[in-house]
Amino acid sequence: MPTVSQTKSRRSRSLRQLVYSQFLRSSLIPIFVIEVALLLLYFGITHYIAERNIRIALDSAKLNIAELAIAEVHVIDEHLTAIERVGSVLQAHHQYLFTHFDHVMVANEPDFETAENGAWVKKGGEGASLYYSAETIIGSEQLEKAVKTEEMDPLLQQVVDQHDSIVAAYFNSWDNMNRLYPYIDNVADQYGPHINMEDYNFYYLADAKHNPDRKPVWTNAYLDPAGQGWMISNIFPIYRGDFLEGVSGLDITLPQVTQTLESLSLPWQSGAMILDDTGTVLSMTPEIEVLLGIQELTTHEYNEVITETIVKPWQFNLYQNDSDSSQLLKQALQKAKVSGPQEFELNGEGYILVVNGIETTNWLLVMVTPKAVVFEEIYHQRRISSQIGYAAIAFMVLFYLMFFVYLMLRSRQLANKIVEPIAKLSQMVHDAVHSSEKPGKQPVNLDVAELDYLADIHRQLSEANHIYQSMVKEVTRKNAQLERISETDSLTQLNNRLKLDRSLAQEVKRAERYGEKFSVIMLDLDHFKRVNDNFGHQVGDSVLIELAELIKAQVRESDIVGRWGGEEFMVICPNTAKEQGALLAEKLHRRVEANHFSTVGKQTASFGVSGYRAGDNVESLVERADVALYRAKANGRNRIEIEHL
Ligand SMILES: Nc1nc2c(ncn2[C@@H]2O[C@H](COP(=O)(O)OP(=O)(O)OP(=O)(O)O)[C@@H](O)[C@H]2O)c(=O)[nH]1
């Protein structure tokens, strides 16, 4: 017998699934949606704030850097102006010397000699060194100049000794004389035999053609012939009247310029460089070296004599170097000149570039600031915000998983709480429907009031149903009893005429359908009237009862025996041909004849036998048996007659 759960419809969902899906819809999905929305909001807001902060910080950084750059330019400008002031003193002194050349008196004349290479130099090691190119013929004029310019030495010495940034002070004459402090021991070897002053920038830049205003002039970076490496010079012409006697100068090495640059208080790990008017990097801080991928020139190995101006290689020229970094810097620089601080990107890093002119020299101070440093704090904040966000996501996922498991368990519990009593109730109904047992009177406790109520109603219904079923059974039994009575002869307890008629009809149908044979025996006691007359009706009745039992005892179980009426009986023999029916009649005849009936003694009976023929009905079949019986009576009784063919 299937249980309730087994008979569950396949299309319907179980109550447990229903409860679970309701939980899912009403709790989990809304929570998930809200949490995702909150996270999106969080990330959106923090992103917006960070971007806004970056924009504000960028603007303020640009402003700060620009202001700072102006201040730094002032510092450099002042530095250069201070050197120019020193130069002016030197210039005034040298001009005075030449203006009053005739009156100059020198106490201790130095000794001179012609070096091996033909250059004419001062001996000794006192004051400044003196050099005359071998190409200049040393006459009295040259000797006088060499001697009288000894007057320059104390001031040259003082200038160099008192100013850290000035490494050398000198005077170069139009006829290729060089007087330079500090003293160069091997000056002839250092300069070589020939020097043509007009070939060097530290001379020609100050001449009448390049410097008609006779102002102090700053050279670009060049390689010092005097052996001090890479440097720049502040030079100024020395005129006697309109005649250019020569050019005096102060030397500053590039490392010193760089030192000045590095001493600037640059914010945010900014780098700085000074560009001269040709676009050559005069000096740069290490940050710019990294950016440009070149190393600043500091020292120089003097393997050869410097015979002309040697400027920095083309790689140092921002306009000529075609590397990506140089090009980027150049573009940013040109834009910055027009519209202020510029942003550019190099190797995935963002930078801010600011440029300012250094008035004194016409150079440019370029400051480059990495954005990452400017925004470090903001980036840090953003990283923290992101980390908080990711932690929130992780927490949310964890929480959601835990909540999911919790709700699943809860929903299962709830589903069980609802499902189990319903299943119990369903099983009860199922059992009650399929069981004949009387339902119990005890009320059922299902822990759910509504279900208990339902169960109680069901119990009452079951009780009523049980009573109804009992009544139906009783009625059925009575009906069956009535049917039996209606088909039974009350005297002999054999089948009555009604039952015999029904059986005959049934056998006729069966014979028609299956082609079976069957036969009918009709028997009638002979002269029964006499029994009644002689012994009374009651004795007659008992004779009939005795005969009924006798017949019953002789026939098969499958034969149908009945009282046709009065003292006339019938035996229906299914599946029995007429001939066998006749044999049975014979047997009955002998038994009746042999029987000693109580009170009345011997009795006889007459028999008529007929067999089913195709096309027969009950009437025709019975009539032929009846005719045969009549013939038996007519032929003397106590005999058997079989129907005629
Ligand atoms: N005691 C008793 N007698 C019955 C019953 N039914 C019919 N009889 C009698 O049976 C007798 C039948 O008589 P008849 O028809 O003349 O037949 P018979 O005397 O047997 O003569 P045959 O049949 O010609 O040999 C009548 O006297 C009926 O009253 C019954 O139920 N009980």
In angstroms, what is the span from residue 558 Cα to ligand 1's centroid?
29
- CATH: 3.40.50.300, 3.30.70.270, 3.40.630.10, 3.30.420.40. Which one for 487-642? 3.30.70.270
**Which distant-in-sequence residues (6+ apart) come within 8 Å of 583 by Cβ?**
none
The ligand 1 atom nearest the CA atom of 637? 25
Interface confidence, given as ipTM, is 0.92
| pLDDT value of residue 116 | 93
CB atoms within 10 A of CB 108: 8
- Residue 534 Cβ inside 6 Å of ligand 1? The answer reads no
Q: What are phi and psi of 352, to 5 degrees?
A: -115, 130
Helix (H, G, I), strand (E, B) or coil at 260: helix
Distances (CA, A) of 357 to 71, 253, 273, 329: 12, 21, 12, 16
Q: What are phi and psi of 157, to 5 degrees?
A: -65, -45
Residues of 250-260 as b/e, b for ≥16 C-beta within 10 angstroms? bbbbbbbbbeb
**Residue 151 scores a pLDDT above 50:** yes
Going by DSSP bridges, is the β-strand pair 605-611/640-642 parallel, antiparallel, or unpaired?
Answer: parallel
Q: Which tens digits make up the pLDDT trace of 337-381?
A: 898 889 999 888 999 999 999 888 889 999 999 988 877 877 787
- Residue 532 Cβ inside 6 Å of ligand 1? The answer reads yes
The ligand 1 atom nearest the CA atom of 491? 31
- Residue 229 Cβ inside 6 Å of ligand 1? The answer reads no
| pLDDT value of residue 107 | 82
The ligand 1 atom nearest the CA atom of 524? 23
State both tokens at 127: 């004051």
Could you tell me how far CA 638 lies from the centroid of its own chain? 112
257-374 belongs to which CATH class? Answer: alpha beta
Q: Which tens digits make up the pLDDT trace of 225-265?
A: 888 888 899 999 999 999 999 999 999 988 888 888 788 77
Residue spans per domain, the chain = 257-374, 435-484, 487-642
Give the pLDDT mean for 456-460.
84
Query: Sign of the CA dihedral 491, 496, 497, 500?
Result: negative
- pTM of the full structure: 0.54
- Label residue 635 by pLDDT band (50, 70, 90): very high
Exactly one of 72, 296, 546, 567 is catalytic; name it.
Answer: 567
- Residue 587 Cβ inside 6 Å of ligand 1? The answer reads no
**Which distant-in-sequence residues (6+ apart) come within 8 Å of 602 by Cβ?**
593, 595, 596
State both tokens at 43: 């990330």
Residues of 505-528 as b/e, b for ≥16 C-beta within 10 angstroms? eebbeebeeeeebbbbbbbbbbeb
Do the beta carbons of residue 351 and residue 372 sit within 8 Å?
A: no
Q: Identify the helix (H) or strand (E) that includes residue 235.
A: strand 230-240
529, 544, 607: residue to mutate for ligand 1 pocket, most atoms within 8 A of CB: 529
Q: Give the Cα separation of 199 and 540 in Å (integer).
A: 181
| pLDDT value of residue 178 | 95
Could you tell me how far CA 567 lies from the centroid of its own chain? 105
Do the beta carbons of residue 164 and residue 117 sit within 8 Å?
A: no
**Does the annotation count 567 as an active-site position?**
yes
Whole-number mean pLDDT of the chain?
A: 89
| pLDDT value of residue 11 | 62
Of 139-143, 450-454, 635-639, the least confident: 450-454
